[in-house]
Structure formats: structure tokens, C-alpha cells
Amino acid sequence: MTENDAPIPALSIEQMPAGAFAAALGRSFRDYGFAIVADHGIPPDLVAQGWNLTARFFALPEAEKRRYLVEGGGGQRGYTPFGREIAKNAKAHDLKEFWHVGREPQGGLPLPDGMPANVWPDEALPGFRACFTRLFDQFDRLGARLLRAIALDLALDPDWFVGPTRQGNSILRLLHYPPIADADRTEAGAVRAGAHEDINLITLLLGAEEAGLQLLDRTGRWRAIRPPEGALVVNIGDMLQRLTNHVLPSTTHRVVNPAPERQGLSRYSMPFFLHLRPDFLIDPLPGCVTAANPRRHEPITADDYLHERLREIGLTGEKR
Ligand SMILES: O=C(O)CCC(=O)C(=O)O
Ligand SMILES: [Fe+2]
């Protein structure tokens, strides 16, 4: 470990008793806004198939990938090309392209209002839909387990998040950061992902073993996040920060460009942005508002908040 690595412990969700896991997760979130979760139970062969399909999709010719660009869709489904997203207040666009998978309709229920249908590149890549529908489901269940632990740590009913996240507007993002040598870096100071906070409740991220991800700690220092092989990086997003009146902090993070010897390589990662139901009203939890920590935000629905934030990062102009 170098001096600037974040000393975040890897917590085993399988081996630790539920109460101890919840307390350790809560401590890691309060200290860093981030936690590392080992033994998360997403089947390794499914993850391996996901990486394989991700690499094959991004290796397709640009014109083929752009067939899955949903114009006017705010980048919420399908393909978003290189150079489109920009971190709030950043001067240069991120050096990345990505694909978004949303929730599939389940049990005969239509998707809630405002949640767009998925697009799939099955013509080019048979098996893509089946693989990422399964992975979405795995992340969804694991996210619900983590929210139970968070509820426990916040002294809420362990099922507190079940209703607010039912048919939530979660998104699985497949990310490709091309080799720096190939990336069009005409914008000065461009990095793989500029400093930002996530919009959603919590983010579950696979793939951060390839260096680059850093968090901004409380003392204002950037610290590298280095999970063990296959472990999950979890972080608090702005919606949970808002709901907990900043008791759980949404920590600024970024992905920096690699050292010279890794610049010829792509970096791939897979964040699952766990969202609330679009109509859920985000209002600070009573237990998180105290004399020492007075209410910081007025209530807003998850959907209104999402669109306010998407506009700021260049992904949408209008509310759908
Ligand atoms: O690629 C990573 O390691 C992090 C990506 C990220 O922070 C994001 O997409 O919000
Ligand atoms: Fe992020």
C-alpha cells in the first residue's frame, strides 16, 4: 500500500454476523463515503461473461455502436459515445464511453412512468440481453441486502428501503475508458472521469482493480481505492446523503489517467446505480435531523432531483 491509498477495510458480507457487518459498513461510509464488500455472491462466471460482452461491444465499429444511441433519451438507456458526459463544473469532457441497462418489466407490471424501456444490441452480440438482465437482477438483490444493513446501522426498520426502492429507476452502467494513446485528448486536462458525486442512493461497482479510482477524503487529499480481486466497491450517492441529512456523506471521486506503462490499455468498470422509485419524496429522516445537524434540504421527488442533476452533467436538456 502506498502512502496515499485509502485504508478502507474489505468487509465480508458472508462471514461477518449481520449486526457486525452493518456496523462496520456504517463506519466505513461515515469515514469515507465508501466501503469495500468481499464475498458478495454475484456468480464469478456471470461477471466474467459480462466483462467479455462489454469488451466485445466497445470493440464494435463506432457506426455500429451509434445505432444504439437513443437521441433525446438523456443517455439513460443504450449507448453514450466518447466525449459526451462532463462532470459538473469541469472544463473537459470525460475520456469514456458507456452503455446503460435499466430495469426490465417484471411480473406483468408495466414500468413506472418516466422509466424508459431498454435497448439491446442482440443483433451484434447474441446473449447480451440475457447476461445483463441476470446481472441487473443480481445487483438489485445485493443492493437490497446492503440497504438492509444500512437501515440497521441507521436504527431504522431493516425493511425500510423495500418500499422506496420497489421498481426503482436503477441503472447498470458498462464503462469503457479507451487506451489513453487512442483517446482524443484535444481538451486540456481531460481525465477518464472528472471529480463528481453520484446522484443515486448507493453505487455498487465492479472492476476497480484496474487503478485509477480515487476518493477525496475529509482532509482534502485524493486517495486511491484498491479493492481485492473481484470485490465490490460501494459508495453513497447524493440521494442517500440528502435522505440522511448528510449523516452518510456522498464523497467526491474521480478516475485519473493511468501511469505510462498502462496507457496502452483499456479500463473497463461496471457500476450499478441503485435508485429510488421515481415518485419517492426525498425528505430527511427524522432521526438524522438534530440540533447539531439541522435540516439541510427541502423535500424533492427522486425524478425531479435526477433531472436537475442530469442537466448539470450534459446528459439531458429537458425533463421527459
Ligand atoms: O470507473 C470507475 O471506477 C468509477 C466510475 C464512476 O465513478 C461513475 O461512473 O460514476
Ligand atoms: Fe461515480
User: What's the complex ipTM?
Assistant: 0.99
Write down the pLDDT at residue 269. 98
- Alpha-helical (H) ranges within 59-113 are 62-66
In this predicted structure, the answer to whether residue 320 has a pLDDT above a threshold of 50 is no
Q: Relative to the CA of 175, which ligand 1 atom is closest?
A: 1
Q: What is the pLDDT of residues 97-108, one digit of tens each?
A: 999 999 999 888
213 lines ligand 1 (CB under 6 A): yes
In this predicted structure, the answer to whether residue 317 has a pLDDT above a threshold of 70 is no
Write down the pLDDT at residue 319. 39
Own/partner contacts of 85-91, CB < 8 Å, gap of 24 or more, are: 85/313, 85/314, 85/315, 86/194, 86/313, 86/314, 87/193, 87/194, 87/195, 87/196, 87/254, 87/313, 88/196, 88/312, 88/313, 90/194, 90/195, 91/187, 91/188, 91/189
Q: What is the pLDDT of residues 286-295, one digit of tens each?
A: 999 999 999 9
In this predicted structure, the answer to whether residue 235 has a pLDDT above a threshold of 90 is yes
Q: Give the mean model confidence (pLDDT) for residues 137-146.
A: 98
Q: What is the pLDDT of residues 10-50, one digit of tens each?
A: 999 999 999 999 999 999 999 999 999 999 999 999 999 99
Write down the pLDDT at residue 5. 77
- Alpha-carbon distance of 307 to 311, in angstroms, equals 6
Atom 9 (ligand 1): residue with closest C-alpha?
Answer: 271
In this predicted structure, the answer to whether residue 194 has a pLDDT above a threshold of 80 is yes
208 lines ligand 1 (CB under 6 A): yes
Pocket test for ligand 1, best of 85, 95, 197, 205 (most atoms within 8 A of CB): 205
Please report which confidence band the pLDDT of residue 210 belongs to, taking 50, 70 and 90 as the band edges. Answer: very high
Q: Relative to the CA of 98, which ligand 1 atom is closest?
A: 9
Ligand in closest contact with the CA of 270:
1
Q: Give the mean model confidence (pLDDT) for residues 282-288.
A: 96
195 lines ligand 1 (CB under 6 A): no
95 lines ligand 1 (CB under 6 A): no
Where is 150: in which H helix or E strand? helix 128-153
Q: What is the pLDDT of residues 66-115, one digit of tens each?
A: 999 998 887 899 999 998 888 888 888 899 999 999 999 988 888 888 78
Q: What is the pLDDT of residues 253-269, one digit of tens each?
A: 999 999 999 999 999 99
Q: In what order do the strands lie in the sheet with 78-80?
A: 10-12, 34-38, 232-236, 202-206, 267-274, 171-177, 97-101, 78-80
175 lines ligand 1 (CB under 6 A): yes
Using the mean position of ligand 2's atoms as its centre, give its distance from the Cα of residue 198 in Å: 5
151 contacts 157 by C-beta, under 8 angstroms: yes
Q: What is the DSSP letter of 262?
A: G
Is 69 strand, coil or helix? strand
In this predicted structure, the answer to whether residue 2 has a pLDDT above a threshold of 70 is no
Q: Please choose, from the candidates 142, 20, 241, the residue with its C-alpha nearest in 3D space to the C-alpha of residue 11.
A: 20
Using the mean position of ligand 1's atoms as its centre, give its distance from the Cα of residue 224 in Å: 13
Q: Relative to the CA of 212, which ligand 1 atom is closest?
A: 3
What domains, with CATH codes, occur in the chain?
11-262+282-312 (2.60.120.330)
In this predicted structure, the answer to whether residue 310 has a pLDDT above a threshold of 50 is yes
